[in-house]
Amino acid sequence: MRRFGAVTRAVAWRSIHNTVVSPAILVPSIVFPLFFLIAFAGGLSRISDLPNFHYRPGYTAFQFVFVFLQSAAFGGVFTGFAVARDFDSGFARRLLLSAPRRSGIIAGYAVGALGRWLITGTVVTVAALIAGMNVDGDGVQLVGLLGLGIAMNLAAALWACGVAMFLRTEQAGALIQMPVFVLLFLAPVYVPLSLLTGWIHDIANINPVTAVLEAGRGLLAGTPVKVAVAFVGLAIAASLLTVFARRGLASAERAG
Amino acid sequence: MRRLSRRRRRAVEDGGGVAAEVSFGPAAAAAPHAAASVTQQTIALAKRAIKRTVRQRALMIFPMIFPLILFAINGSALSAATRIPRFPTHNYRDFLIAMPFVQGAMFVSISAGVDLARDIETGFLNRLALTPLRPEALLIGQLGGALVLGVLQAIVYLLVGLATGVTFASGVGGALVLLVLSIAIAFAFASLGGLLALRFGTGEAVQGIFPLLFVTLFLSSSSLPRNLIKATWFREVATYNPVSYLLEGLRSLVITGWNAQALELGFGFTLALLVIALALSRAAMNTRLARK
């Protein structure tokens, strides 16, 4: 267990250090969610005037929850890019040789993803508060929202690590990113589920991200809904993706 | 003769043949001392750029598909927006169809910039500097691949739009004008990509600029008409953002029919971007091709 912890700490420290000291890595992961927040909350705020659009804290808060959870997911995705880059550069192979407990590598990258997202999440939250976002939830509910973000980040990081370790090339970037992107945007991003129509409503209805998004919006508004469903869904996803990432690591080990 | 053509074919792939063609023209074997005209130089470089673009099919697909994915998702997810009073159409896809064209053009700019940057990084441009190549021939020729990509994208987006129920208020003629404008927009953005490559000299730097291009798209009238944007500051930014006028020029053909003002602004801003980018690129190219 001590060796697992040592590997986790070392990989996480390197991942966070690389993020913090390299503007080329840090800036896009901060700037993209900010752009989405500005574009959606600013450009689409008229949507809140639609009949049957009822979200008490307002459209900025409605969009903030999406951007907050999206930045969590993309914190994991960007870590997958780093894993792929480590394989391309040969660093990951040296890491596999030197790590006494290799499962600590996955845990280290996951902790690194969390560290990276905590920076982005803080910036996005401060930006939303500056933009006048209303927060109606109490302290416990806001911790719940943070918990949803952490769980989302973990699930995305495990997915990204798994794909990057299976494919071991930076060209895996699109495959890491696209499913997460599509899954997020097939949820009720711009309007509540009840205002969606047609095929997007049917898909959003069965999309697990919808429950997470609705739970997050409920927590921020101080009227929790589907919180248990969201946490259970994320826990199941994280468990399955842990197995997936572990198999990816085994594949990398076999490849040598 | 067959050996010569095989050697030339291989040389074209690595750029060496292009150096020969731009120096002496395609009939180099027949008249080895005849210098190639600017047109011949442009055609030789354009052929190489087009071949390179066509060979990178995998790199063509993502930039083409991504705007379509957003079109499919946002076209449905934001359809409720048509219920906003004074929204100009009842079908949100009619409103949104302009976005893939401009977004695709932005991807073309990156593709063109990265290709040119690769030629700078690999030293191909330096080798060309040893030939009597005209900078404008290099510039226009290099953008040939991007132009092909722009044409392909425009046709695909138009067909997808029509297949998903987009109707043109301006009729068949309007669809053709939309194609022309969107190809011009793609070429203008490709010139911008070329300028970035010539200025920075690395593909990484060109790709690093891409988020900024994306920002201009999101801070425009891409999702709602300007008069319906509620946040005053956002409406102001969208009004001063030229991308809004590119979108509105394309969109007018679908929603309002023949709107002279929207088309003039659309073509005007496209032409302005093209002229400015090409003029600055020409100056940057002179520096890159400095023959010492």
- Domain chopping of chain B, boundaries: 56-288
pLDDT for the residue B6: 52
CB contact under 8 A, A50 and B84: yes
**Among all residues of chain A, which has the CA nearest to that of B205?**
A24
CB contact under 8 A, B79 and A197: yes
User: A72-111: buried (b, 16+ CB within 10 Å) or exposed (e) per residue?
Assistant: bbbbbbbbbbbbbbbbeeeebeebbeebeebbbbbbbbbb
Q: Is A252 on the interface with B (CB under 8 A)?
A: no
| Contact criterion met (CB below 8 Å) for A113 and A75 | yes
- Domain chopping of chain A, boundaries: 2-44+52-255
Q: From first to last of its 256 residues, what are the pLDDT tens digits of chain A?
A: 788 899 999 999 999 998 888 777 788 788 888 988 988 888 898 998 888 888 999 999 999 999 999 999 999 998 998 898 888 888 888 998 888 888 899 999 999 999 999 999 999 999 999 999 999 999 999 999 999 999 999 999 999 999 999 988 877 777 888 899 899 999 999 999 999 988 999 999 999 999 999 999 999 999 999 999 999 999 999 999 999 999 999 999 898 7
3-state secondary structure of B229: coil
Instruction: Return the residue in B86, B216, B230 with the most chain A beta carbons within 10 A, the one to mutate for interface testing.
Output: B230
**Among all residues of chain B, which has the CA nearest to that of A183?**
B73
Locate all alpha helices (DSSP H) within chain B, ordered by sequence. Answer: 2-14, 16-24, 38-55, 57-77, 92-96, 98-121, 124-128, 135-142, 144-163, 171-200, 203-218, 232-240, 242-255, 260-288
| Contact criterion met (CB below 8 Å) for B111 and B149 | yes
The three-state (H, E, C) secondary structure of A205-247, written as one string: HHCHHHHHHHHHHHHHHCCCCCHHHHHHHHHHHHHHHHHHHHH
Least confident of A137-146, B40-49, B150-159, B235-244: B40-49
Distance, in Å, from the CA atom of A164 to the CA atom of A168, rounded to the nearest integer, reads 5
| Contact criterion met (CB below 8 Å) for B106 and B192 | no
Residues 6+ apart with CB under 8 A from B209: B113, B196
Instruction: Return the residue in A35, A53, A213 with the most chain B beta carbons within 10 A, the one to mutate for interface testing.
Output: A35
Q: From residue A67, how far is each of A98, A231, B278 by CA, in Å?
A: 38, 18, 38
Nearest CB partner across the interface for A50, out of B74, B83, B223: B83
Distance, in Å, from the CA atom of A100 to the CA atom of A92, rounded to the nearest integer, reads 14
Q: Is A182 on the interface with B (CB under 8 A)?
A: yes
Distance, in Å, from the CA atom of B99 to the CA atom of B246, rounded to the nearest integer, reads 10
User: Mind telling me how many Å the CA of B151 is from chain A's nearest CA?
Assistant: 24
B74-118 tens-digit pLDDT: 999 999 999 998 999 999 999 999 999 999 999 888 888 888 888
Residue B28 pLDDT more than 80?
no
Residue B73 pLDDT more than 80?
yes
Q: Is B39 on the interface with A (CB under 8 A)?
A: no
Q: Is B77 on the interface with A (CB under 8 A)?
A: yes
Neighbours of B130 (CB within 10 A): 11
pLDDT for the residue B201: 82
Instruction: Return the residue in A36, A46, A54, A209 with the most chain B beta carbons within 10 A, the one to mutate for interface testing.
Output: A46
User: How many alpha carbons lie under 13 Å from residue B125 in its C-beta half-sphere?
Assistant: 25
B165-177 tens-digit pLDDT: 999 999 999 999 9
User: A154-180: buried (b, 16+ CB within 10 Å) or exposed (e) per residue?
Assistant: bbbbbbbbbbbbbbbebebbeebbeeb
ipTM field: 0.79
Nearest CB partner across the interface for A45, out of B62, B222, B231: B231
